[in-house]
Amino acid sequence: MNEPLWTPGSPNTVIAGDNLPVLQTLPGSSFQLICIDPPFNTGRVQRSQPMRTVRSADGDRVGFKGHTYQTLRGALTTYDDDFADYWDFLAPRLEQAWRLLKDSGTLYLHLDYREVHYAKVMLDALFGRECFLNEIIWAYDYGARAKSRWPTKHDNILVYVKDPKQYYFSNEDVDREPYMAPGLVTPEKVARGKLPTDVWWHTIVAPNAKERTGYPTQKPVGILKRMVAASSRPGDWVMDFFAGSGTLGAAAQELDRRYLLIDAHSEAVAVMRRRFEGTTTPPQFVAAEGELAAS
């Protein structure tokens, strides 16, 4: 695949196919915002990998952006084989995310408590520690409560910018939250609400929610709208290359951004067709191997 399936002159687009070969064809520095929520279970056979590199003064391969991530990868392998396999899957895709971001751009990587610490190390190596902006905790309160430990009711979202001197961020248009102790602030402040911090209390997509598509890992559009509102401007291009039900596209439509969504699974593409049908700016649907027939 050499011809890009998308350029900045394209309309809103959904591409069906494995994201890596598609990303490799796209023109660099094209996106203001990339939000991804990758699966932890990549569907690949998990395998153990021997450590391929060891730390030494001059023997290491200097990798992407001059960082020595082979060494990190080797070190992680010794601790967690599953994560080393995940690294093989995710690292080349995150390299593409870095290449495809504009200098003012931002990456949001949505994970959970099991892999976020490894991923932080990985992204520090790929982007540079100075490019780390935040770890957002998305806290919710739904479902069963474990009795043998503290029930885990949060996800982790790592935020990295392409260039710490040029990135765009504005909380002017971000939705505000109710004060926890409204009695301690003025009625004007209570009416306005407070700016969100790096802990976002937001309900999951409830079984009876209007936005529910039926896609099992669907994230709430309210969460994505915060990312879009803070880290892009109207008219900017935003992308999710693990798109699932297309929640980033739904947020982008509401906030007047342009969007590219990629997913490898036909069920996700079918859900996105239904979700965007009849909306004001429906996307074109393209298959990595040619035009998709309308469903």
Ligand X SMILES: C[S@@+](CC[C@H](N)C(=O)[O-])C[C@H]1O[C@@H](n2cnc3c(N)ncnc32)[C@H](O)[C@@H]1O
- Torsion sign (Cα): 288, 236, 210, 242: positive
Q: Which of these segments, 34-42, 67-75, 128-136, 143-151, binds ligand X (CB under 6 A)?
A: 34-42
Query: Given candidates 10, 18, 80, 154, which one binds ligand X under the rule CB under 6 A?
Result: 18
Binding mask 207-246 for ligand X (x = CB under 6 A): --------x-xxx----------------------x-xx-
DSSP 58-78: S-SPP-GGG--HHHHHHHHHH
Closest CA to 227 of 37, 95, 6, 38: 37
Q: Tell me which residue has its CB nearest to ligand X.
A: 244
Give how many residues touch ligand X by CB under 6 A: 18
Closest CA to 159 of 100, 119, 202, 213: 119
For residue 193, give every residue at least 6 positions away whose Cβ sits within 8 Å of its Cβ, in sequence order, or none: 176, 177, 178, 179
Report the alpha-carbon distance of residue 286 to residue 253 in Å, rounded.
19
Q: Is 276 in the site for ligand X (CB under 6 A)?
A: no
CB burial class (10 A; 0-12, 13-18, 19+) of residue 291? exposed
Query: Given candidates 90, 247, 257, 276, which one binds ligand X under the rule CB under 6 A?
Result: 247
CB of 285 to ligand X, least distance (A): 14
Q: Is 268 in the site for ligand X (CB under 6 A)?
A: yes
Q: Which of these segments, 36-44, 72-80, 124-132, 281-289, binds ligand X (CB under 6 A)?
A: 36-44
The CA-atom distances, in angstroms, between 285 and each of 17, 33, 219, 268 are: 11, 21, 22, 12
Place of tokens 């408590």: 113
| CB closer to ligand X, 233 vs 265 | 265
Binding mask 52-91 for ligand X (x = CB under 6 A): ----------------------------------------
| CB closer to ligand X, 219 vs 258 | 219
Query: Given candidates 8, 11, 28, 39, which one binds ligand X under the rule CB under 6 A?
Result: 39
CB of 164 to ligand X, least distance (A): 26
| CB closer to ligand X, 71 vs 269 | 269
- Beta carbons of 281 and 10 less than 8 angstroms apart: no
Report the alpha-carbon distance of residue 130 to residue 195 in Å, rounded.
25
Q: Is 263 in the site for ligand X (CB under 6 A)?
A: yes
77 CA to centre of own chain: 24
| CB closer to ligand X, 15 vs 126 | 15
The contact set with ligand X (CB under 6 A) reads 18-19, 37-39, 215, 217-219, 242, 244-245, 247, 262-265, 268
